[in-house]
Structures are given as structure tokens and as C-alpha cells.
């Protein structure tokens, strides 16, 4: 098979999951306390889609991966220092709010516009990847809206596997209820895939890949288009942390037999 | 006036899933609290009559259906076309739907097509003076928001298990058939099957009373300086068989398979709970050999009663994340638990 693919990965940035997050009110609506100070990472499920994209491109010579990312420029730059060492890609950066309280529809409009502006974009070669949900808004809505704007009618969410057959058709595994996967066959491109975890481990940092990527990452960041969101019509009545923590009873001195009995009683209750 | 549409798809046997009845409960409750509103039902599937009949006594005044073999498949192009047609024909301003994998794939796309907006993972809907508000979590269950919107149509995907099911009685529903013409472009994708473990190997049981979570400690060196993976596997398998619990796992444990380590053969990423895993709903959860770090425990948001077994009294569970922490060796405790369960059966 000598098909050449154009794989566009949409991935935002989110606070490192190990950080404690607290909502605060800001003039433009809810935000996170010290949002700009929190260390950020590439959105986890979208990262998996990036690794899957890079792996696909590696096996299909001539194929190329673009990473389209919308977030505050300074944060994007910080995250790219690590991400750029993982796999080869060309960055398309958009400078704007990256938090979870923005509107999926507005983000999708910006991402779709940026994708359409990629020089030489050919829909018959196009695969659009992303995460099936973000770790910020967690809505699973943005990618579908990007797909709609690009006119892509073959869309898949919760993808764990993509196989491309010799005839160019795609076989896709999507997560469905009850720990199962739906298997679909799609005749060809363009297609949009919102990835779950997939099957690839996180690639190790490779400074050589980093050096090559950085040649395009820095200029892309410099010319990142500034975007603003209106959030019209949406109002947050309240954003709050969950109610109090539990009062943990710590049982230290019971024998395993006694613990087992207590657990059985609790399970049966 | 709000036109509240309950939008559901039928199951392969033509029935309505529990999650659809839960969404109907939300739609009917909303209709009751919004003075000037009407409730309508839209159904999509190969055949929808028996599903409509099953809920015919609900307060809906109209039923719309998109039917045919093409609509039996859970496929983006045909599902968006069908949902769009029902929304347009019914003039829906609020669309309430169960957050099934099928609707999760398409309804944001339909909202986009209709110039509307969508909120997903909703676990509460209310109305005050005709003003509708929804509750949903942000940042992977770390904070909960209540929000409302001016724009219509407003699509609401209701998280399964978060609401009571509508118990409306059956009857005979008169369905308006909405015709959808499909181009060949809508049929480029075909659903060819479902991949699932053999029935006795399926460890994910959404209806189970208990979520049993395993952590990386099961594969770590124990007091004798050795790991005991085969023993761990036997204990966990035994417990799952005896208790019929659903199996969840920490990321560290499921990730080990990718790194060439000896691991528990029945675990996959589908079992992972947390930030980049699932957030299941179970009345009880028991964590074993798992540290209870925040990226893991955010996946426990909807597990009501929580207990943990860990050797470390300072693990995450001790800090208000579990109701009870047993500072004990999970190998020893679970051996005894299995003995007791086996003796009872
Ligand atoms: C971007 C990102 C996303 C993440 N997403 C997730 C996610 O979705 N889910 C998730 O789980 N994690 C996630 N993590 C990882 C998370 O931060 C933790 O590293 C992980 O949960 C730790 O797994 P663990 O508790 O099983 O292992 P460990 O931290 O290694 O803990 C093992 C525990 O076993 C105990 N133990 C050992 N032997 C015994 C015994 N015999 N009896 C009793 N206890 C014993 C030890 O005391 C220890 O507490 C994520 C991290 C990042 C950075």
C-alpha cells in the first residue's frame, strides 16, 4: 500500500492531574485558582491519539502528522518542550484560553478553521485524530463539531484500535457499554477518530526528534493566531468542589481473619 | 414554549434500555416543572413500535420515529441524519437523551448541525421559574458546575445510572414516521460486530453491587522480597468468581502489560479507573494494593461506599478518600475472604 496520509491531531493542554484544582470566579466566568501557574501537560487521551498518529505515519512513508493545539501561548510553549521530544509533528498553534469552562462549539470552530488553513490539505488523504474526551471540559463534544465543520461523515469515538487494510479501508474498534468494543469497517478517508487509550505506550523522550520538531514549533508559536471566546448564552450558576471529604476510619490492629470477616459482612449488607 | 424531546434509540431486540427510561424520567420531570412546555418522544431503530408502546402512558403528546434497517446500526452518518430529522420535525428546543456510547458519538455533531449547543455527562436537571439548569462535572469529576443556557436547541446527554427510570405503563403509541433519505456517503461505514471477552472472562460488570479495584501492589515485591503474581492472579480471579464483583484497576497495573512485565492476564485498559480511565457507578467499592492517588480516585466519584486494604497507613485512602482503610496485607485478607465466600456458597 503506498497511500500517503495527512493526519491532523487536535490536542489541548490541561493541568497536570497530580495538581489540586480549585475553582474561582473571574471576570470572564469560572476559572481555576492560579491557572497560569499550574504545570500543564498535553491532554492525556489526545496524547494517545498523537502517539497512534505518529506510529501510523511511521509505517506509511510520505505521511505526515500535524498537531493543532489551542491554549495560552506561554503554556503551549512549556508543554511543547516535552511533547516535541516524543514523536515527529508539525505544530499549528492557536493562542487562547485552554481551560475547561470554554465552549466546545467555539473551540471547534477555531480548530476547524486552523485545519482548513493547512497548506495542501487534501480531504481524500485526511485523518483527523483527537481524544474522545478532554481532561478539562470532559464533554466529548469538540471533535464531532470539528468533524461536522470539515464535512466528515465517518466519525468514531472511544477508539482503541485502527487497522488499515490493503484496499485502504479502515477497521476501527470503539469502546461501548459493558467493557466491549464495537467493530466497524469504513470504506476510506476522510475519517475522524476520537481516541481512548489505544495500544501504544508513551514514547520515550528523544532529543533528536525534539531538535527537528523545534525548528517548526518555535515559529508556529510565534505566529500563533490569538483567539477569544464570547461564551454567549452560557452562564454558570455555581462551580464548586465536591462536599466534604470522608472521615476515614483507619483499622490498624485487626488480624487478616477479622478484617476478612468485616469485609464479608459489609459486602453482604 | 419549550418543546422537550426525549430522543432514544432502540436496542437490537427493539426494546428501550434502562438508560433511555432514565432520560425519559428527566424529560418528563422537566416538562412538569416548565409551565409552558410540551413533551414529545423521538425514537430511532430498525423498528420502534414496541419501544414506543412500552412508554405510551408517559405524558408525551407526540411520537416521532425514524425506522429501517439502515438505522439499526450505531453509525455516525445515519444516526446524525436520523436525529437531525427528528429534531427538525418536532421543533425541539430541549433534547434530552441517554448518554449511551451511540448517542455520545453523534449528538454534539447534531447540535452543531442545528446551530444548537450540547452538554454531556449531565447528572441533574432542574427548572426554577421556567429557567432550566443542568449539573455536570468538570476536570474529570474534580468540580461540579450548575449552568444554564439561552441558546436552543439545547442537547442534554444524561449519564446512565444517575437518575431513576421512568416507570410509565405501556399502551399503544401512534408514531409519526419521519422519512430520511440516505445518500451512499452515509453508508461508507458498516458495523461488523462486537468484540468482547468470553462470558466467563468478562470482568467488567456495570450492574455489580461491588467494584473491586486492584493496584500495582499486587505485582510488587512482598515481605519475603519476592513478587507473587500467580498467587495474586488466583486470588483476584477467585474473588471475582465468588463475589460477581466488577473489576477495576489502577493505571499503573494495567500499564505494566505494555512494558513486558508479568501481569494479570485478564486486565486491560478497559478496567482502568480514574483520570484516563472509567468513572463507573456502583453502590460499593473495595480497593486493594492501590495507593489511592488523586488521578485514580477521581474515578471513584460515583462509588458510594468505599473501603481499601493497603499496607501503608499513610496512603491516599487514609486522607478522606475511603470510609474505611484496613492497614493489612491484601494477600492474607483476600485469601480469607475467598475462603469465607466459598464456604457460604
Ligand atoms: C496524566 C496522568 C493520568 C493518570 N491517570 C490515571 C488513571 O486514570 N487511573 C489511575 O489509577 N492512575 C492514573 N494516573 C497514575 C496515578 O498518578 C498513580 O501513579 C497510580 O494510580 C498508582 O497506581 P497504584 O496505586 O496501583 O500503584 P502504587 O502507587 O505503586 O501503589 C501500590 C500500593 O500497593 C500497596 N501494597 C503493596 N503490597 C501490598 C499488600 N500486600 N497489601 C496491601 N497493599 C499493598 C502499597 O502500599 C502501595 O500503596 C495518572 C497519572 C498521570 C500523570
Mean pLDDT of A224-242: 94
Among A residues 231-250, those touching chain B with beta carbons less than 8 Å apart: 232-242, 244-250
Residue B70: how many other CB atoms lie within 10 Å: 17
Q: Do the chains contact at B143 and A241, CB–CB below 8 Å?
A: yes
What total number of domains does chain B contain? 2
Nearest to B139 among A103, A135, A174 (CB): A135
Do residue B133 and residue B274 come from a single domain?
no
Residue A219: how many other CB atoms lie within 10 Å: 12
CA B58 – CA B72 distance, rounded (Å): 24
3-state per-residue secondary structure call for chain B = CEEEEEEEECCCCCCCCHHHHHHHHHHHHHHHHCCCEEEEEEEEECCCHHHHHHCCCCCCCEEEEEECHHHCCCCHHHHHHHHHHHHHHHCCCEEEEECCHHHHHHHHHHHHHCCCEEEEEEEEEEEECCEEEEEEEECCCCEEEEEEECCCCEEEEECCCCCCCCCCCCCCCCEEECCCCCCHHHHCEEEEEEECCCHHHCCCCCCCCEEEEECHHHHCCCCCCCCCHHHHHHHHHHHHHHHCCEEEECHHHHHHHHHCCCCCCCCCHHHEECCCCECCCEEEEEEECCCCCHHHHHHHCCEEEEEEEECCCCCHHHCCCCCEEEECCHHHHHHHHHHHHHHHC
CA B328 – CA A248 distance, rounded (Å): 15
* A113 Cβ contact partners less than 8 Å away, ≥ 6 residues apart: none
Which among B188, B238, B275 is the top mutation candidate for probing chain A, defined by the most A β-carbons within 10 Å of its own β-carbon? B188
Residue A112 pLDDT: 98
Residue A2 pLDDT: 61
Domains present along chain A, CATH in parentheses = 6-233 (3.40.50.620)
Identify the band that residue B186 occupies on the pLDDT scale cut at 50, 70 and 90.
very high
Cβ–Cβ under 8 Å, residues A263 and B286:
yes
For cell 518542550, the residue is: A81
Say how many Å lie between the CA of residue B297 and the centre of ligand 1: 10
The boundaries of the domain holding residue B240 are: 210-344
Please report whether residue B53 resides in a domain: yes
Do residue B15 and residue B78 come from a single domain?
yes
Please report whether residue B108 resides in a domain: yes
Please report whether residue B200 resides in a domain: no
Residue A3 pLDDT: 80
Residue B187: how many other CB atoms lie within 10 Å: 15
Residue B201 pLDDT: 85
pLDDT in tens, B96-116: 999 999 999 999 999 999 999
Pocket test for ligand 1, best of A11, A15, A17 (most atoms within 8 A of CB): A17
Do residue B44 and residue B181 come from a single domain?
yes
Please report whether residue B204 resides in a domain: no
Do residue B128 and residue B217 come from a single domain?
no
A189 in contact with B, Cβ within 8 Å:
no
Mean pLDDT of B65-81: 98
Say how many Å lie between the CA of residue B293 and the centre of ligand 1: 6
Q: Do the chains contact at B333 and A259, CB–CB below 8 Å?
A: yes
Q: Do the chains contact at A182 and B74, CB–CB below 8 Å?
A: yes
B194 to chain A: which residues are within 8 Å by CB? Answer: 176, 180-183
Residue A103 pLDDT: 96
pTM above 0.90?
yes
B191 in contact with A, Cβ within 8 Å:
yes
Residue B321 pLDDT: 96
Identify the band that residue A214 occupies on the pLDDT scale cut at 50, 70 and 90.
very high
Which among B337, B339, B344 is the top mutation candidate for probing chain A, defined by the most A β-carbons within 10 Å of its own β-carbon? B337
Do residue B181 and residue B325 come from a single domain?
no
Checking if the pLDDT of B260 tops 70, the result is: no
Phi, psi of B328 (to 5 degrees): -160, 170
* A228 Cβ contact partners less than 8 Å away, ≥ 6 residues apart: A96
Strand A13-15 and strand A40-42: pairing? antiparallel
For residue A194, give the H/E element and its range. Answer: strand A191-195
- DSSP-based helix, strand, coil % in chain A, nearest 5: 30, 30, 40
Say how many Å lie between the CA of residue B309 and the centre of ligand 1: 13
Please report whether residue B195 resides in a domain: no
Identify the band that residue B258 occupies on the pLDDT scale cut at 50, 70 and 90.
low
Checking if the pLDDT of B200 tops 90, the result is: no
Cell numbers for B45: 431503530
Residue A138 pLDDT: 97
pLDDT in tens, A105-150: 999 999 999 999 999 999 999 999 999 999 999 999 999 999 999 9
- Dihedral sign, Cα of residue A128, residue B111, residue A35, residue B142: negative
CA B295 – CA B218 distance, rounded (Å): 19
A18 in contact with B, Cβ within 8 Å:
yes
Do residue B156 and residue B33 come from a single domain?
yes
Mean pLDDT of B252-272: 81
Do residue B219 and residue B112 come from a single domain?
no
Q: Using alpha carbons only, how large is chain A's radius of gyration in Å?
A: 21
% of chain B exceeding 90 in pLDDT: 93
Do residue B14 and residue B159 come from a single domain?
yes
Cell numbers for B206: 456495570
Ligand 1 residue neighbourhood (C-beta within 6 Å):
A 17, 41, 44; B 215-217, 220, 222, 250-253, 272-277, 289-291, 293, 295-296, 309-312, 315, 329-331
Q: Do the chains contact at A201 and B336, CB–CB below 8 Å?
A: no
B324 in contact with A, Cβ within 8 Å:
yes
CATH number at residue B303: 3.40.50.1220
Do residue B18 and residue B145 come from a single domain?
yes
Nearest CA in chain A to B202: A179
Size (chain B), residues: 345
More confident residue, B258 or A210: A210
CA distance B174 to chain A (A): 31
Do residue B171 and residue B215 come from a single domain?
no
Please report whether residue B305 resides in a domain: yes
Q: Whose CA is nearest to atom 38 of ligand 1?
A: B217
Residue B262 pLDDT: 55
DSSP, collapsed to helix, strand or coil, labels residue A165 as coil
Residue A30: how many other CB atoms lie within 10 Å: 19
Please report whether residue B335 resides in a domain: yes
CA B7 – CA A20 distance, rounded (Å): 38
A2 in contact with B, Cβ within 8 Å:
no
Nearest CA in chain A to B342: A264
CA B223 – CA B54 distance, rounded (Å): 59
% of chain A exceeding 90 in pLDDT: 95
Checking if the pLDDT of B161 tops 90, the result is: yes
Mean pLDDT of B321-344: 97
Mean pLDDT of A70-92: 97
Mean pLDDT of B196-203: 87
In angstroms, the first-to-last Cα distance of chain A is 60
A160 in contact with B, Cβ within 8 Å:
yes
pLDDT in tens, B208-228: 999 999 999 999 999 999 999
Q: Do the chains contact at A174 and B105, CB–CB below 8 Å?
A: yes
CATH number at residue B99: 3.40.50.620
Say how many Å lie between the CA of residue B287 and the centre of ligand 1: 11
Q: What ipTM does this complex have?
A: 0.96
Do residue B226 and residue B170 come from a single domain?
no
Cβ–Cβ under 8 Å, residues B328 and B286:
no
B337 in contact with A, Cβ within 8 Å:
yes
Please report whether residue B289 resides in a domain: yes
Size (chain A), residues: 269
B252 in contact with A, Cβ within 8 Å:
no
Burial (0-12, 13-18, 19+ Cβ within 10 Å), A117: exposed
Mean pLDDT of B75-92: 98
Do residue B143 and residue B238 come from a single domain?
no
Cβ–Cβ under 8 Å, residues B73 and B80:
no
Mean pLDDT of B168-189: 97
CA A263 – CA B197 distance, rounded (Å): 29
Residue B264 pLDDT: 82
DSSP, collapsed to helix, strand or coil, labels residue A37 as coil
Identify the band that residue B318 occupies on the pLDDT scale cut at 50, 70 and 90.
very high
Q: Using alpha carbons only, how large is chain B's radius of gyration in Å?
A: 23
Amino acid at each position: 500500500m503506498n497511500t500517503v496520509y495527512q493526519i491532523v491531531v487536535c490536542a489541548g493542554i490541561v493541568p497536570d492531574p497530580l495538581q489540586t484544582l480549585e475553582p474561582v470566579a473571574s471576570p470572564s466566568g469560572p476559572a481555576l485558582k492560579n491557572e497560569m501557574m499550574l504545570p500543564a501537560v498535553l491532554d492525556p487521551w489526545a496524547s494517545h491519539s498523537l502517539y497512534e498518529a505518529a506510529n501510523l505515519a511511521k509505517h506509511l512513508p510520505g505521511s505526515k502528522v500535524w498537531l493543532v493545539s489551542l491554549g495560552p501561548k506561554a503554556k503551549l510553549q512549556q508543554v511543547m518542550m516535552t511533547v516535541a521530544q516524543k514523536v515527529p509533528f508539525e505544530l499549528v498553534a492557536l493562542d487562547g484560553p485552554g481551560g475547561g469552562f470554554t465552549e466546545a462549539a467555539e473551540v471547534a470552530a477555531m480548530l476547524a478553521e486552523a485545519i482548513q488553513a493547512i497548506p495542501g490539505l487534501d480531504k481524500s488523504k485526511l485523518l483527523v485524530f483527537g481524544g474522545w474526551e478532554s481532561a478539562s471540559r470532559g464533554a466529548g463534544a469538540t471533535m464531532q463539531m470539528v468533524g461536522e465543520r470539515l464535512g466528515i461523515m465517518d466519525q468514531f469515538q472511544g477508539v482503541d484500535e485502527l487497522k488499515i487494510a490493503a484496499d485502504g479501508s479502515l477497521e476501527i474498534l470503539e469502546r461501548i457499554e459493558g467493557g466491549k468494543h464495537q467493530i466497524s469497517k469504513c470504506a476510506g478517508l476522510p475519517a475522524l477518530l476520537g481516541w481512548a487509550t489505544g495500544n501504544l505506550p508513551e514514547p520515550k523522550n528523544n532529543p533528536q526528534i525534539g531538535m527537528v520538531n523545534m525548528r517548526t514549533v518555535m515559529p508556529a508559536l510565534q505566529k500563533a493566531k490569538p483567539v477569544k471566546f464570547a461564551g454567549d448564552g452560557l452562564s454558570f450558576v455555581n462551580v464548586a468542589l465536591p462536599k466534604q471529604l470522608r472521615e476515614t476510619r483507619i483499622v490498624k490492629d485487626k488480624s487478616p481473619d477479622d478484617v476478612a470477616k468485616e469485609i464479608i459482612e459489609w459486602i453482604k449488607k | 414554549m419549550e418543546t422537550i424531546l426525549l430522543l432514544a434509540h432502540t436496542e437490537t431486540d427493539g426494546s428501550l434500555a434502562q438508560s433511555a427510561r432514565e432520560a425519559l424520567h428527566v424529560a418528563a420531570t422537566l416538562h412538569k416543572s416548565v409551565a409552558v412546555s410540551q413533551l414529545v418522544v423521538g425514537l430511532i431503530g430498525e423498528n420502534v413500535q414496541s419501544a414506543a408502546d412500552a412508554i405510551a402512558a408517559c405524558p408525551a403528546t407526540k411520537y416521532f420515529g425514524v425506522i429501517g434497517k439502515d438505522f439499526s446500526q450505531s453509525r455516525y452518518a445515519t444516526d446524525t441524519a436520523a436525529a437531525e430529522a427528528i429534531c427538525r420535525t418536532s421543533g425541539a428546543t430541549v433534547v434530552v437523551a441517554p448518554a449511551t456510547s451511540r448517542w455520545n458519538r453523534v449528538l454534539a455533531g447534531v447540535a452543531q448541525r442545528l446551530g444548537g449547543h450540547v452538554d454531556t455527562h449531565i447528572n441533574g436537571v432542574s427548572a426554577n421559574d421556567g429557567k432550566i439548569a443542568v449539573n455536570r462535572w468538570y476536570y474529570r469529576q474534580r468540580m461540579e458546575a450548575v449552568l444554564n443556557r439561552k441558546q436552543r436547541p439545547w442537547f442534554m446527554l444524561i449519564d446512565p445510572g444517575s437518575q431513576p427510570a421512568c416507570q410509565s405503563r405501556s399502551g399503544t403509541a401512534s408514531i409519526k414516521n419521519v422519512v430520511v433519505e440516505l445518500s451512499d456517503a452515509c453508508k461508507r461505514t458498516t458495523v461488523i460486530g462486537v468484540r468482547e471477552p468470553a462470558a466467563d472472562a468478562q470482568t467488567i460488570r456495570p450492574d455489580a453491587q461491588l467494584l473491586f479495584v486492584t493496584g500495582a501492589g499486587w505485582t510488587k515485591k512482598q515481605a519475603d522480597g519476592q513478587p507473587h503474581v500467580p498467587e495474586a492472579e488466583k486470588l483476584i480471579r477467585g474473588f471475582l468468581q465468588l463475589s460477581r464483583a466488577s473489576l477495576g484497576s489502577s493505571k499503573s497495573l494495567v500499564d505494566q502489560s505494555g512494558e513486558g512485565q508479568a501481569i494479570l492476564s485478564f486486565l486491560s485498559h478497559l478496567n482502568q479507573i480514574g483520570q484516563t480511565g472509567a468513572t463507573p457507578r456502583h453502590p460499593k467499592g473495595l480497593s486493594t494494593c492501590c495507593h489511592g492517588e488523586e488521578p485514580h480516585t477521581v474515578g471513584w466519584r460515583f462509588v458510594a461506599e468505599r473501603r481499601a486494604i493497603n499496607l501503608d497507613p499513610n496512603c491516599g485512602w487514609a486522607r478522606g478518600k475511603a470510609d474505611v482503610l484496613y492497614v493489612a496485607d491484601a494477600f492474607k485478607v483476600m485469601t480469607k475472604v475467598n475462603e469465607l465466600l466459598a464456604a457460604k456458597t
